[in-house]
Amino acid sequence: MSNTTSKILTKRKKDVLQVWVENQAEDPAVREDLMANDELHAQSAELLNSFIEAIKSNNYEDIEAPEYYQVTEIISGISLTRAQLGFSPRETATFVLSLKRSIIQILQEELKEDQSTLISEILRISDLLDSLSLVTMETFIKGREEVIIRQSSEINEISTPVIRVWEGILALPIIGTLDSERTQVVMENLLQEIVNSGSSTAILDISGVPTVDTLVAQHLIKTVNATRLMGAECIISGIRPEIAQTIVHLGIDLAGVQTKATLASALQYAFRKSNLVVAKKKNS
């Protein structure tokens, strides 16, 4: 099959670009607040150039082939930035899909006389652009995933503050569910702070943990054991009645773990261990 489309597009590159940019601008979905017009123009020109280069190879099927590296690279880059800028999936997909419309429009003008070639060329080009728009969606989703991963690790970071309550005594209130990833962060932060401050007692307060099941208990025991290996003691406080009940019903063995009902009593215990006394001042 002769490469008619390639020849036409090379010849009328400027027109395709113009129609395409117009198409995008007409689309009600285009976000002028998120992207300036000249930026859109530059991105479109860059993609169109490498696209025309790629189809010169007469390969319209395999977008994994080397001649399409640059095209997929540009598309991925654009979708990734758009995902991070907060574009919707529709807005991102429109970018490539509107190129299809512009190319078909130009092909129609050029191949007015030859209907059968027109149809076969349109089929080829639209299959190709469909697969390219799938690339857009794939990278878009990947970009969103990245945002989610970053956010959840940020949440993990900020939701596990280690507080120095007294010289040699650390407290770590845990709020929310304790999964294995979070346990890692808790352990790392706690142990590092033990090293930094030379503390010998750490209080892990679980008042803010909604449920304690076998898995959460395992994570707590791991943290207690790791603290002990460092040479410090870890007390678990904030055991609510319903948590005590589940622990017993599930048959979780907390022997060897120092537990206290409230943070206050854990603190008292820690003071006693460090030979500190808190006394009320007598009125003279």
Binding site residues, other proteins, CB under 8 A = 142, 146, 184, 187-188, 191-192, 194-195, 198, 200, 222, 225-232, 256
- 6's CB contacts (< 8 A; 6+ apart) are 52, 55, 56, 58
Report in angstroms how near the CB of residue 263 gets to other proteins at its nearest: 23
CA 234 to chain centre: 33
Residue (210 or 231) nearer to other proteins, CB? 231
Burial environment of residue 132 by CB neighbours within 10 A (0 to 12, 13 to 18, 19 or more): buried
Report in angstroms how near the CB of residue 18 gets to other proteins at its nearest: 36
Residue (74 or 221) nearer to other proteins, CB? 221
Cα angle 256, 258, 262; round to 5 = 155
Residue (200 or 258) nearer to other proteins, CB? 200
Report in angstroms how near the CB of residue 197 gets to other proteins at its nearest: 10
Cα angle 266, 268, 274; round to 5 = 105
Residue (52 or 252) nearer to other proteins, CB? 252
d(CA 99, CA 16): 8
Handedness of CA 191, 203, 244, 269 (dihedral sign): positive
Residue (92 or 199) nearer to other proteins, CB? 199
Report in angstroms how near the CB of residue 257 gets to other proteins at its nearest: 12
Report in angstroms how near the CB of residue 229 gets to other proteins at its nearest: 4
d(CA 46, CA 52): 10
Half-sphere exposure of 208 (CA within 13 A, CB side): 10
d(CA 169, CA 171): 7
Report in angstroms how near the CB of residue 160 gets to other proteins at its nearest: 14
Residue (241 or 256) nearer to other proteins, CB? 256
